[in-house]
Amino acid sequence: MVKDQEYLQKKASYCLDLAKKLGATDTSVNIGNSISETVNFRNKKLDESNRSDNLGIDITTYIGKKKSSISSSNLLNDNLDILIEKCIETTKNTPEDEFNSLPDKDLLAKEVKDLNLYDDTHLENEKKVDYLSTLEAFASNDKKIVNTESSFVEDKSNFILANSDGFCKGFKTSSFIASSVAVARDDKSMERDYEYSLKCHLNDIKNPEELGKKAAEYTLRKLGPKKIGSEKIAIIFDKRIAKGILSNFANAISASAISRGTSFLKNKINQRIFSDNINIIDKPDMFKGIGSKSFDSEGVQSYALNLVEQGILKHYLIDTYNGKKLKLKSNGRCGGTSNLYFENGKISYKDLLNSYSRCLYITETIGHGSNIVTGDYSVGATGFLLENGEFKYPINEITIAGNFRDMFKNITLANDLEFEYSTNSPTMMIEGMVVAGK
């Protein structure tokens, strides 16, 4: 079992009291415990089973506008004494930074909402093995599947965040992750693909038959890829890839990038950056949400934000430090987004596929080709050629490119949004992208 709140609170209070006694004007302490159990299969046989129990503490001390941090996995009081003494000494010798401070007290969360993020169900190893045995059997059912890997991970976590302004709160979370990777081969190529399921509650995980079938299906359909020439064409991004576009947007509106002037979206608040039918929401209070939380990593209350309304950028993701640089108050986004998503579009998935007589459907991107300074986007990709809404054949060895300034304004979203991850998107079409092929 993970450490309970009482134990973590006691350790946090000990650190806060000692830091104050040694001369800290402010202190922040984060203590967490997580227990993870993992079972891995390879080619229908048990490959590995392990368990980890991680306990750690992060301490940040302030002396006026000076700040330093230290961390450890040893929570014995004798070690905490040494850690805090070292942290205080380091703080004394650190240059001042006028923006260093704890969050404003009036912004701190007053309560921890019950968002049903913890499932105390424990799946015994034998049951994990049974799940993966079934999954592997369905993933390798076709003779063209030559290799399979799968895993089941159960994680339970608890933490306390406390500071010298009287904030002391935390909550438990759990996650259950099942994944399947399949490799297929024919006389023309060897391909791989995957499927996985991530949920807070065990009963919400996809069944092993469905997961194994999907991994095999995704892999088999990629066999025998063809090459295409270079052209300018509409591209449809599968939901698994479309959410990556949304992640790039989130990086571009982080207060750290904005304050450094390293984002193409600097000075764009209340300006139109998407077409007028695009809405983007970050919702931390989603029931059973993978990214749900009552407060950010500084203790600032997190509340739902309409980041983009009818194509217009309304908010940056603001933490305390960079917010002070920008003369803006934190909106509870230290550490990033929570449950971020594009609101559903108005067109069906089928109609989106039929939008053009010829377009590309991308199922995988390769490389990290996003530059939030310039907005340039260029990645390797694989997928399918679509003609009149039908998947004609798989394609590979292409590069797709564009600039987010143009891409954002040319997005069309289907109405097939599902909340499978902490960042989610419906199937997405972007018109007029450049494809470099053979």
pLDDT at position 325 is 96
CA dihedral 341, 346, 349, 354 (to 10 degrees): -130
Structural domain boundaries of the chain?
5-220, 231-436
The per-residue pLDDT for range 289-327, each reduced to its tens digit, is 999 999 999 999 999 999 999 999 999 999 999 999 999
Q: What percent of the chain has pLDDT over 90?
A: 97
Contact 438, 227 (CB under 8 A): yes
- Concatenated DSSP letters for 171-195? -EEEEEEEEEEEEEE-SS-EEEEEE
Query: Distance (Å, rounded) from C-alpha 372 to C-alpha 106?
Result: 33
State the average pLDDT over residues 238-254: 96
> Residue 368 has what pLDDT?
83
CATH superfamily of 5-220: PmbA/TldD superfamily (3.30.2290.10)
DSSP 309: E
Predicted pLDDT at 379: 95
Q: Average pLDDT for residues 334-352, to the nearest whole number? A: 97
Over range 199-214, report the average pLDDT: 97
Token pair for 227: 């090459």
pLDDT range class, residue 426, cuts 50, 70, 90: very high
Give the 3-state secondary structure percentages of the chain, helix then strand then coil, rounded to 5: 25, 40, 40
In angstroms, how far is CA 175 from the centroid of its own chain? 14
Q: What is the average pLDDT value for the chain, to the nearest integer?
A: 96
Does position 438 have pLDDT exceeding 90, yes or no? no
The pLDDT value given to residue 437: 82
> pLDDT digit string (tens) for 354-395?
999 999 999 999 988 899 999 999 999 999 999 999 999 999
